[in-house]
Amino acid sequence: MADLAHQNVTGAHSGETRRDFLILTASAIGAVGVAATIWPFIDSLNPARDTLALATSEVDIGPVQVGQRLTVAWRGKPVFIDHRTPEEIKAAEGVDVSSLRDPQADSARVKKPEWLVIIGVCTHLGCIPLGQKAGDDRGPYGGWFCPCHGSIYDTSGRIRQGPAPLNLVVPPYEFTGDTMIKIG
Amino acid sequence: MADIHPAGTGSRIIRWIDYRLPFVGMLQHELYEYPTPRNLSYWWNFGSLAGIMLVVLIVTGIVLAMQYTPHADYAFDSVERIMRDVNFGWMLRYAHMNGASMFFAIVYIHLFRGLYYGSYKQPRELLWILGVVILVLMIATAFMGYVLPWGQMSYWAATVITNLFSAIPWVGQSIVTLLWGGFTVGNPTLNRFYALHYLLPFVIVAVVLLHLIALHRFGSNNPLGIDVKGPQDSLPFHPYFTIKDLFGLSVFLLIYAFFVFYAPNFLGSSDNYIPANPMQTPNHIVPEWYLLPYYAILRSVPNKLLGVIMAFGSIFLLFIVPWLDTSPVRSARFRPIYKWVFWLLVIDVIALGWVGANPPEGLVVTVGQIATFYYFVHFLILFPVIGKVEQPRPLPVSIGTAVLRHSEGAQLGTAGAPMVKP
User: B156-194 burial, b if ≥16 CB within 10 A, otherwise e?
Assistant: bbbbbbbbbbbbeeeebeeebbbbbbbbbbbbbbbebbb
| Of B129, B118, B43, B110, residue with least CA distance to B329 | B118
Q: What is the pLDDT of residues B134-163, one digit of tens each?
A: 999 999 999 999 999 999 999 999 999 999
- What percent of chain B shows pLDDT beyond 90? 78
Contact B303 A148 (CB under 8 A): no
Task: Residue count of chain A, please give it.
Answer: 184
Set of chain B residues whose Cβ sits within 8 Å of the Cβ of A150? 360-361
pLDDT of residue A148: 82
pLDDT of residue A13: 55
Least confident of A102-116, B332-346, B364-378: A102-116
Average per-residue pLDDT in chain A?
86
d(CA B241, CA B238) in angstroms, rounded, equals 6
Interface confidence, given as ipTM, is 0.74
Q: Write the DSSP symbol of residue A54.
A: T
pLDDT-based confidence at B408, cuts 50/70/90?
A: low
Q: Count residue pairs from A and B with Cβ separation < 8 A.
A: 80
Task: Residue count of chain B, please give it.
Answer: 422
Angle of the B187-218 helix axis to the B152-163 helix axis, nearest 10: 70
Q: Chain B: nearest CA to A73, how far in angstroms?
A: 8
Set of chain B residues whose Cβ sits within 8 Å of the Cβ of A159? none
Bridge partners (DSSP) of residue A74 are A77
Least confident of A2-6, A164-168, B387-391: A2-6
Q: Is the pLDDT of residue B413 over 60?
A: no
Q: Chain B: nearest CA to A13, how far in angstroms?
A: 38
Sign of CA dihedral B237, B242, B248, B252: positive
- What percent of chain B shows pLDDT beyond 70? 93
Is B362 within 8 Å of chain A by CB? Answer: no
- What percent of chain A shows pLDDT beyond 90? 49
How would you list the strands of the sheet with A173-175, edge to edge? A57-60, A180-183, A173-175
pLDDT of residue A154: 92
Q: What is the pLDDT of residues B30-70, one digit of tens each?
A: 888 999 999 999 999 999 999 999 999 999 999 999 999 99
Q: Is the pLDDT of residue A104 over 70?
A: yes
pLDDT-based confidence at A76, cuts 50/70/90?
A: confident
Tell me what the mean pLDDT of segment B72-87 comes to.
96
Q: Is the pLDDT of residue A11 over 60?
A: no
Q: Chain A: nearest CA to B189, how far in angstroms?
A: 9
Q: What is the pLDDT of residues B159-186, one digit of tens each?
A: 999 998 988 888 998 999 999 998 899 9
Least confident of A51-65, B86-100, B367-381: A51-65
How would you list the strands of the sheet with A69-74, edge to edge? A69-74, A77-83, A115-119
Catalytic (active site) residue B250? no
pLDDT of residue B135: 98
Q: Is the pLDDT of residue A9 over 80?
A: no
pLDDT of residue A163: 84
| Of B207, B217, B229, B244, residue with least CA distance to B34 | B217
Q: Write the DSSP symbol of residue A63.
A: T
pLDDT of residue B319: 97
Angle B136-B167-B162 (CA atoms, 0-180°, nearest 5)? 50
Contact A47 B299 (CB under 8 A): no
Q: Mutate one of A69, A125, A130 to test the B interface: name it (highest B CB count within 10 A).
A: A125
Cβ–Cβ under 8 Å, residues A142 and A88: yes
Contact B160 A47 (CB under 8 A): no
Report the half-sphere exposure of B328 (CA within 13 A, side-chain side): 5
Tell me what the mean pLDDT of segment B322-342 comes to.
96
Chain A contacts in chain B segment 190-209 (CB below 8 A)? 192
Least confident of B78-92, B327-341, B357-371: B357-371
More confident call, B251 vs A74: B251
Specify the amino acid at residue B222: N
Contact A71 B279 (CB under 8 A): yes
pLDDT-based confidence at B406, cuts 50/70/90?
A: low
- Asked if the bond preceding B239 is cis, omega within 30° of 0, the reply is yes
Average per-residue pLDDT in chain B?
91
Catalytic-labelled residue, pool B288, B325, B348, B390: B288
Tell me what the mean pLDDT of segment A33-56 comes to.
87
Q: Which helix (H) or strand (E) holds A59?
A: strand A57-60
Q: Chain A: nearest CA to B286, how far in angstroms?
A: 9
CA dihedral B315, B316, B318, B319 (to 10 degrees): 150
pLDDT of residue A1: 45
Contact B281 A124 (CB under 8 A): no
Write down the pTM of the prediction.
Answer: 0.87
Is A149 within 8 Å of chain B by CB? Answer: yes
pLDDT of residue B217: 94
